[in-house]
Each structure stands twice: as structure tokens, then as C-alpha cells.
Chains A and B, each alone.
Chain A
Amino acid sequence: MTGPWAEALPWVIVLPLVGAALTPAVAVRHPRVAGFWAWGVLLVTAVLASGLVAELLARGPFSYELGGWAASYGIELRFDHFSAWVLPLAVLFVVIVPFSWRYLDHVMPDERRPPFYALLLLNAGGMIGFCVTGDLFNLFVFTEVVSLSSYALVAVGGRGLAAFAALKYLFIGAVSSLLMLFATAQLFVLTGSLNMADVSLGLGEIGSGTAVMVAFAAFAVSFMVKAAMFPVHVWLPDAHAIAPSPVSAVLSGMVVKVGIVGMLRIYQIYFGAEVLELGAFNLALVWLGAVSIVMGAFFAIFQDDIKLMLAYSTISNIGYIVLGLGLASPYAVIGASVHVFNHALIKATLFLAAGSIIHQTGFRTLSDLRGIARTMPQTSAAMAIGAVSIVGLPPTAGFVCKWYIALGAFEANQAPFGFALVFGALFIFIYYIRMLNAFYFQKPVHDEVAQASETPWSMRGPVVLLASLCLILGVLGGIPLNFVEPAVLDLLPFWGQ
């Protein structure tokens, strides 16, 4: 039985998409209105999402058939525990958008705002759609929507190297899209349906086989690219270098997570097959994840530009998630899934705080930003909290995921990876301590820094709010678990647990 909220399921996708389309019209007179319009749309979307999540908690997963057509012909939308990700997604957008109102002042002329916000809404809608669709082809479509809007956001908001970097992004993305298309087609051929549930059943009948495995591999690689996992991560640092901070926040925080959620969906689909030999695959994931962790941290340490450092930090953190997935024990996967959410929060905090600082002073490197804490205390404090969070020190959100993944490593008898996990994070703290020292304990070298003022409230509010959430969720770490645990536990047989 489904409640009234189930009917709202399509709206949660439709709203942002339609909003995107309407943005140019709405902002035709005053380009800046686009920002408020986008915010409004996202706010409503967030409200809808919360309703959907409430429904999920009360009565469990539910679905909706578009146009009333039954599955296998029509497009089915499904809201299960992994779909609950749309809520934090929407909330993060709601927090990030106000930040962009003032931030974009120094990034782009007002005329570019409507297209920017339209793309942002498109991006949001695409991600939401990705999470709630029950159809494979739909999945592909939404992935493309997300990717394309991301490229565009990077290019529209960026400058200078924009063209070259966006092209690189485009090219790699194109390869990954092709792979995904290929895999989707393969599954269609094999099972005769595009509906995920049906495909799953179909695979169950077919059992394993080369074709099945090939499709799986194609999906895996494609999502790995999206998730910026080593070794196909190369597009991320460049993108971050040129994108404006709100876009970086979205990119690092949410877009890359699409890849992870995609992987989880594929696991769900193949759940029915049950005979997949995942040993080698998991091993590959574990090692790639571990390498990502170390390599990301390593490169981050040598960066002077804050945003590049944060970009490599993202790669490192995705490594954690992948490691968790590869370990394939309940705690590890729970930890990885929770990290999907926590990392988004933390990265958003860091990027917005960094963006604030860049916005107020015009500088992006550590050596230039010495002593900024005196004049921008709240933003710096948020940055500090974000730094502590991302290293995974208690009492912040980052700690909870580390705890779980480490526990999972030991649960899976992979103790060395547990060690690697714990100490890998400490490694990256080397950079953050340089940053904190520079901000707090050294004298300013530039006048702009010495005389900078704090950001206006539309920028400061989101930053402070996000930082507070980092702390709160560090203490109340159990909240995301309510969603993640049932989902993961359902999937356990898939990993042979």
C-alpha cells in the first residue's frame, strides 16, 4: 500500500527539470532573479523529498508507474533506501544556492546567471532522477543529463583554461557514457527488458556468463570514471581548478557520488543473479580504493592552491568509499554508504568556506592567505572544522564513516587495510595543519588579507550551517544509519555474507 506521498514521486524530478526550463523566462528582466527562482524550486523539491523519505521510513520502499503503464513498457520510478539520498542532495543544494548569489558576483557577469542556474537545476534534477528511476535506460539518460550539465557548469562558470579542461572532462565522460550505453544494451538483449526489477529477475534465470560479466564490467568502469576513482580520476582536479566554488561543492560533493550510487544500483540489479564471482572484482576495488586514498592524499599535500588540494582530497575520499565497497562486509559497506553522505557535507563545507575566502581576498594559495583567521574568524573556523572532519577526527562527521569502514576491514579479516585506512587519513592532515597554521598562527602578508571582512550573511550562513552539521552529525552519527543499514543488509547475500 502506498500513501499519498507516493504520488509525489515524479514531481520530485519534474520540478527541478521544469524549473530549469523556465529559468530564462523568469529571469528575462532581472538576471539575478534566476538565483532566487532556483532556490525556491529546490526548496520545494527538498520539502517533497522529505515527505518521500518520511513515507519510506513509515511504510518501506514504494514505486510509481509513469502514465499508469505497467512496468516493462512504461517507466517505473522506485523509492527505496538508496533513493533516500535525494533528501540530503536537495538540502545541500538549498544551502549552496544562497551562497552562490553573492559569490558569482566576481565570477561571471549577470547575464550568465540564468543559464547558470538553469544548468544547476538541471543538474539537481538529473541527480534526483538518477536516484529514483527504476529503468535502466532512464538511468543512462539521467546520467547523461548530470554529466552534460556538469560540464556546462564548469565551462560557464569558469575562465581561462575552461575550454581545454572542459574538453578533457567531456572526452572522458563520453567514453564512460558509451560504456554505459553498451552495458545497458547488453542487458536489454539478454533479458529483454529495461526495467531494473525485471532485468534482475531475468539475470536470475540466465545465471552468470561471459556476456553478463562483460556488462557488469562495463557498468563498473563507467561508474568508476564518474566517481573519479584511480586511475580514471584525471578529470577532477582540472575541473575543480576552474570551476567556481559552489560548482566545486556540487561536483565533489554530489556529482561524483552518482558513480557510487550507480554501483550500488548495479549491485542491486545483479542481486538476482547470485552467482557472480565477485572475488576478483572486490579485490580490484579494494586495491584501487587503497591506492586512491594514498595517491590522493599524497598529491594533495604538495598543492599550494586550496581548491586543487581539495580536489585531490576528494579523490582520496572516494577511495575510502570504494575500499569500503570492495571489502564487502556489512560494516564496510555501511561505512562507505554513510561516507557518501558525510563526505558531501564536509566537502561542501570546505569548498564554500574556501570560496568565501577567495571571494573576499582574491587569493587562492596558502602562502598568500596567511593570517586570514583574524579577519574572517567564522569562515576560518568552518574551514578548520571541515579540515578536522575530513581527516576523520572525532567529534566530527568524518569520524563515523572511518570507524565503520575500519570495523568492516577487521570484520572481513583484512586488517592491513584497516591500518591503511586509519593512517592514510592522518597523512593528509599534513596539508591541513599547514593550512590551519597559515590561517591562524602566522602574520598576514597582503593588505587584502589583513583588511578583509567577513562575508555577507547569504554566504556566511550556509558555511556556518554546514560546519555545524559536520559537528552535529559527528555526535549524532547514527542518523544516516537508519537509511543505510536496511539497504545494505538487504544486499548482504549479494556479497556472500
Chain B
Amino acid sequence: MEVVDVRPILAPFVSFLCAGLVFGFGRSIFWRRFFTFLAAFIKMALVLSMLPGTLQGVVYVYQFVEFTPGIGIGFRADAYGMFFSLVSSTLWVFTTIYAIGYMQGDRDRVRFFGFFALCVSTTVGVAFAENLLTFFLFYETLTICTYPLVVHAETREALRAGRIYLTYTLIGGGFALVGAVMTLNAAGTLTFAAPGILGLESGVGTLAVIFLCLIIGFGVKAAVMPLHGWLPIAMVAPTPVSALLHAVAVVKVGAFGVTRVIYNVFGVELLQQLGFATPLALLAGFTIVAASTIALTQDHLKRRLAYSTISQLSYIVLGAALLTPLAATAAVLHIANQAFAKITMFFVVGAITRTTGKKYVSEIDGIGARMPWSMAAFTIASLSFVGVPLTAGFITKWYLALGALEADAWWFVLVLIASSLLNAGYFFPILHRAYFRPAKEPWPPLEPGRHFETPKTLLIPIVICAAYVLLLGVTAEVPGMPGSVAQVAVESFFAPRGVGP
């Protein structure tokens, strides 16, 4: 049931406004923080206000401007878009708190927080995009807005990383644009529709090219191999940016795009007839294992997390490419599960660096004693990635494996098992070092006047996000939690043509 409502457009635009205010009034610490928080909170409030409706199957739409009939900028908050924006808006609040603490004393904070707020807005714009054009618009804008954050440090290394990042993402954007244009040409419309908008009548060749272009286009940000090269290099950015890029905004937007293409542009039925999803699934499977293998060899903490992210993102792609309801549930849920767990890890790594200056796995022996809460959070997140029951990651693993069986592709279960073991292989040694080895040299003591192992602004998001990982693991069936929204979304993907929005 569709309802015209201004909130889907209000959410991104209010944040845009706040971003502008950050740029304008940012010299004052108070106003800068105020508007940054305002952007995050308003977004979250708006999204939450639409949640009850979404759970009942209401879809909020708002047409902004039309170029010609069928092509325009439109916003539509369906269950899947709500899911994504819920996740991203929740995480934004925490990332903001963390960023404020982390960037204290750093330079160019007006620029940083201004673009930070802009990224908030564009992500929500992507989530609520009604058609491929709007999606593309915000997708590319996100690229532009994240660039200054990546090169924030302004060192040669950072600029180089920024160039590589832009090259990958803009070329990907080019492919996405071509794909979108071809879709319009073939389908006559760009509006996402639950059973897809393309049909066999466009010819297999054309459809193949469209699929390739769109998947490459969005796959760059989703770090599907071999398009993943930018991600480890972009680790040079400050940790809040890495957390943002790798848990919430950029990579998830890519994965979100890939799933939108599969479910809402092509549609499950068409892809099953065409068989395009199989190579994609195989590629995702390969990425899952290969990226985890590379992660084993990384000593730099953030790089290890980067490769882990690449691997985990392909869970989402795999889930979508399997084209079954259970696998789809896994794909959607993993957007949230991966986000919370990965962001916890990045937060912890950032806290470690801020507190002790250490950045490498080989340097953090015994840190469990100095930073127990942070390492406890890291442990929980690690367990989630390995897929230990009662954590969020187990739910994903469960659904994805069942989805693979449902799709008669049991070998992917082996891929998942291998991936879990690999995850254990590169996370458990970190835990072992942290807890079971003595420190090589004494840790810096607590600063005078501080009671906690690391500043509160860093610790609170860590603890809350880790708690959330556990929460997601046990509340999959509780109404109102992400699991229920995901189920509404999955139902819409697999509804037969002509049924409902």
C-alpha cells in the first residue's frame, strides 16, 4: 500500500541542510557538534517514525521532480530501504560520537564534519531512492563527499589513496550510468519494482550487458573481487572514516545497489531464466574465501579488517545471487549484522591506536589487561564473524547456508564453513595475543582524571555496538527489530508479479 509522505525526502534533505550549517557555522565547536548531531538525530527520528507503517506493509513515496514521464527524482521508503536507512542512521549516531572523540585536536574539523554530515544525507538518499536515476545521483554524490574524508590527512599517501579510491569508484560509476541508461532504453522506466522491470523481450545480449554494467558499477563499492583494490588502500583515512566507509556508507551502498539490481531491476524470475546470477554467486564465493585468506597475512590491524570486510560483503552478494527467500533474508540481515560487528572492530582498533599508538597485530600483546572493555567488544565482534550462536553473525550464516541448500547449491555451505574457519584463523590470534600473552613493554597509564581505559566518547560507541551485535543475535524474531523489517522486504522480493508494491 503506497502512501504519499514527505518524510522520505525530508530525511536526506534535512541532513543536507545541517551539513550546510556545519560548513557555515563550523568554526565554533559547539555549533559544529550541534549541527552534526542534529543531522544524525533528525535522520534517525524520521526513519523511526516510518517504521511502524513499514512493518504493516506501508510504503511511503514522494515524487520530487520529473524530467520526463518516467524519469525523475523520486523517493520511496519501502521495507528494504527502511532497513538500510535504519541501520545506517543508528550507526551514524554512534559514529558521530566516536568521531568527535577521535578527531579531537585534529585539524580541518569543519571540513571533516561538514562532509561527514553530507555523507549521512546521501546514504539516506540512496536508501530511499525510488528509481535508478535517483539512486545513481546519490550514489555518485556519496563518492564525491567521501573523497575529502579519505584524503583528510593530506599526506602523499592519503592523496594517493584518494586518487585510487576515486578512480575505482568513478569508473564504477561510469559503468553504473551506462547500465542505467541502457535499462531505461530497454525497460522504458527506471522505477524499482518488486518483481523487476526488465523482461526477456529486450534480448539476452542486451540484458547481459546491462547486468554486467550495473553489477560492475555497484560491485566496485561492494568490493567484489577483482574490483576491491581501493578498499585496503583507503585504510589510510582516519579511523572514523574507515568505520564509516566500511561498515555503514560506501560499501553498504554498493551492496545495497547490487541487491536492488538483482531484486528490483531484473527480478528473481528473470534472473532464474537468464542464469546470470550463477557466475555472480561463484564470484562472490571466491571473494569470500580469497579475501579471508589474504586477511590471514596482514599484520596491520586495519588492513586485516579491510580484507575481512571484503570477504563479508560478498556474503550479501552471494545471498542475493542465490535467488531464494532464505538466502535473501541472509543478504538483507547481513547488511545490519556485518555493519555492527565491523564498526565495533574499527572503533576498537581506533581506540587502541589513540590510547597506545599501536597499529599492528604483532604489537598488541597483552592489551586485554589494559583495555578490557574494548577487547571484550572486539571478542564479541570476532565471535559474530566466526558465526558463534547467539551473535548476529550466526543468524546470517544460518540463513545463508539454508538458502544455499534451498538453491541446490550445497557447495556454498562449504564456502561458508571455510570462511568461518578462516575468520577464526585471523581473529582468534588477535584475541589470543591480547589476552594470553604478556605485554612487550608497559602500556601508557591512564591519563590523570580518567577512569576508563580510553576516552568515554570512544568507549561508549564500542560498548553499545558490541551489545547490539549480541542483541541482533537473539532478537531476530522480535517485532520492531531489524529482523522483522528484513522479512517484510524479502516477502516483497519474492511476491509474484502484479501483486502489491
Contacts and interface: CB of A to CB of B under 8 A. Distances in A.
A and B, direct touch (CB closer than 8 Å): yes
Interface of A: 388, 393-395, 399-400, 402-403, 406-407, 409-411, 415, 418-419, 422-423, 425-426, 429, 433, 437, 440-442, 475-478, 481, 485
Nearest to B178: A422
Given A394-B141, A426-B171, A440 B178 contact: no
Contacts of B159: 437, 441-442
A475 B73 contact: yes
A342 B181 CA distance: 20
A476 B65 CA distance: 7
Interface string B147-181: 01001001000110011001000110111011001
Contact of B181 (A395, A418, A423, A426): A418
B185 A423 contact: no
Given A406-B177, A407-B185, A478 B209 contact: no
A399 B170 CA distance: 13
B9 to A, nearest CB: 12
B184 interface: yes
Nearest to B73: A475
B383 to A, nearest CB: 40
Contact of B65 (A394, A440, A478): A478
Contact of A415 (B141, B173, B182, B184): B182
Q: Which 3 A-B pairs have the closest CB atoms?
A: A394-B137, A410-B185, A406-B181
A437 B178 contact: no
A409 B181 CA distance: 9
Contacts of B174: 422-423, 425-426
Interface in B60-117: 65-68, 72-73
B209 A477 contact: no
Contacts of A476: 65
A422 B140 CA distance: 13
A402 B177 CA distance: 9
Contacts of A393: 140-141, 143-144, 170, 173
A426 B163 CA distance: 13
Contacts of A429: 166, 170
26 contacts: A394-B136, A394-B138, A394-B141, A395-B137, A395-B140, A399-B137, A400-B67, A402-B177, A415-B209, A418-B182, A419-B178, A423-B171, A425-B174, A429-B166, A429-B170, A437-B151, A437-B159, A440-B148, A441-B151, A441-B154, A441-B158, A441-B159, A442-B159, A476-B65, A478-B68, A485-B68
Given A395-B137, A441-B159, A407 B67 contact: no
Contact of B177 (A411, A422, A440): A422
A440 B150 CA distance: 13
A407 to B, nearest CB: 5
Contacts of A485: 68
Contacts of A426: 170-171, 173-174
Interface residues of B, number: 34
A429 B140 CA distance: 14
A400 B72 CA distance: 11
B209 to A, nearest CB: 7
B166 A411 contact: no
A263 to B, nearest CB: 24
Contacts of A394: 136-138, 140-141
A406 B65 contact: no
A136 B499 CA distance: 60
Contacts of B72: 478
A395 B185 contact: no
Contact of A410 (B133, B141, B175, B182): B182
A403 B241 CA distance: 31
Contacts of B162: 437, 441
A429 B159 CA distance: 15
A387 B178 CA distance: 21
Nearest to B185: A410
Nearest to A442: B154
Contacts of A437: 151, 159, 162-163
Nearest to B154: A441
Nearest to B170: A426
Nearest to B137: A394
Contacts of B181: 403, 406-407, 409-410, 418
Contacts of A403: 133, 177, 181
Contacts of B175: 422
Contacts of B209: 415
B65 A418 contact: no
A425 B178 CA distance: 13
A396 B210 CA distance: 24
Nearest to A373: B111
Contacts of A481: 67-68
Counting chain A CB atoms within 10 Å of each CB, the highest count among B140, B148, B166, B185 belongs to B185
A329 to B, nearest CB: 10
A5 to B, nearest CB: 28
Interface string B447-478: 00000000000000000000000000000000
Contacts of A400: 67
A86 B237 CA distance: 48
Interface in B174-198: 174-175, 177-178, 181-182, 184-185
Nearest to B155: A441
Given A423-B171, A478-B72, 14 more contacts: A394-B141, A395-B137, A399-B137, A406-B181, A410-B185, A415-B182, A423-B174, A425-B174, A429-B166, A433-B163, A441-B158, A477-B67, A478-B65, A478-B66
Contacts of A418: 178, 181-182
A395 B122 CA distance: 11
Which of B66, B67, B133 has its CB near the most chain A CB atoms (within 10 A)? B67
Interface in B345-397: none
A376 to B, nearest CB: 15
Interface centre among B72, B158, B159 (most CB of A within 10 A): B159
Nearest to A371: B154
Contacts of B141: 393-395
A393 B163 CA distance: 16
Given A388-B144, A475-B65, A411 B173 contact: no
B242 to A, nearest CB: 18
A93 B178 CA distance: 35
Contacts of B65: 475-476, 478
A127 to B, nearest CB: 28
Interface in B31-82: 65-68, 72-73
In this complex, which of B133, B136, B140, B209 has the most chain A Cβ atoms within 10 angstroms of its Cβ? B140
A422 B184 CA distance: 16
Contacts of B154: 441-442
Contacts of A478: 65-68, 72
B184 A407 contact: yes
A476 B173 CA distance: 21
A431 B463 CA distance: 44
Contacts of B178: 406, 418-419, 422
